[in-house]
Structure 1
């Protein structure tokens, strides 16, 4: 990708860099929620729910951009297994960022808990109240959150590998776009 490489579109870069701190915050908030029983727990929940829905809306928009704006090609000298890992890990990230908020919303619905977005506005339940379903979805949400954390770390490691070691333009294609 060195000479004459192309960059991600402006909308793709916008959503990527907008979502990155949201996802990082969500991972830390999620850990904090399960690690504390103090009054801070309720504050973290109050942030976690609307942030999850915001991530859901952003990932839907980002998927539309991904489908309508082709990403730049990977470097020609990149091994095939790395190409497969790159493509697969990106789609796993999209899937998790899409599924996690829906599972969380479903879990709360099954538990009979409202999803407060802001004062005066709650999301409607999307599944019937059911304690068994709640327990299943709670476990699924936890395990998928761990998978999201591992996938995020792998994505970050790959970005650093391309930016600091290979210096092949993959990182800069998302970091700075068409500028020099």
Structure 2
């Protein structure tokens, strides 16, 4: 008999869904930035920078919360390979949610561009001005964003697998629905 999967705490669920919306917004804003010209480009950049920093801060909060609060165990029926894949995908997601904004911040610092959070307030640079470093970090930022997009798609596919095919309670544990 399969034991019911517990629910994630409300705070963890709120952080999860808030960040899911922010990350999807950020990915699509990033795509739009690449395909857009003046003046819409600057409006998108003005959204992209503070949203990235908010994602970074919330990812750190999520990581601390995950260390402090026990998460529901995966179902006993989940094969070992899927258990490893689930754990690895979460490590990659956290690494990208923290690494991608830091690379973006470093890229802007190396390019001598301010990370304006709102009018009159910009974050300090975290790297020295260096055009070659800016170019390398810009390339890395693009590839990390593509990797994040791929991992988000895999995460969504896994959620649908749990919710529609396996029906093992994993999806409702994050949506707040019935897990039993």
- Give TM class, smaller chain: over 0.9
Aligned length: 180
The answer for unaligned runs of 5 or more in structure 2 is none
Structure 2 Cα separation of the partners of residues 44 and 177 of structure 1? 35
Distance 1:52-1:33 versus aligned 2 partners, 3 A rule: same
Q: What secondary structure is seen at the aligned counterpart in 2 of 1:172?
A: helix
| TM-score, length basis structure 2 | 0.96
1:126 paired with 2:126, answer yes
Are residues 179 and 158 of structure 1, via their aligned partners in 2, closer, same or farther at CA, if it must alter by over 3 Å?
closer
1:66-77 matches, within 5 Å, as 66-77=66-77
Contact conserved, 1:110 with 1:127, CA < 8 A, in 2? yes
CA distance in 2, matches of 1:60, 1:137: 22
Secondary structure of the residue aligned to 1:159 is helix
Gaps of 5+ in 1: none
Q: For 1:36 and 1:2, locate their aligned partners in 2 and report how far apart those are by CA, in whole Å.
A: 51
Match of 1:157 in 2: 157
Residue 136 of structure 1 corresponds to 136
Residue deviations 1:137-168 (CA, integer Å, cap 9, x gap): 00100000000000000000000110111110
For 2:13, the equivalent position in structure 1 comes to 13
Q: Aligned Cα RMSD in Å?
A: 1.5
For residue 3 of structure 1, report the CA deviation from its aligned partner: 3.6
CA distance in 1, matches of 2:105, 2:63: 20
TM-score w.r.t. structure 1 length?
0.96
Moved over 4 A (4+): 177-180
The aligned runs of 1:50-129 (5 Å cut-off) are 50-129=50-129
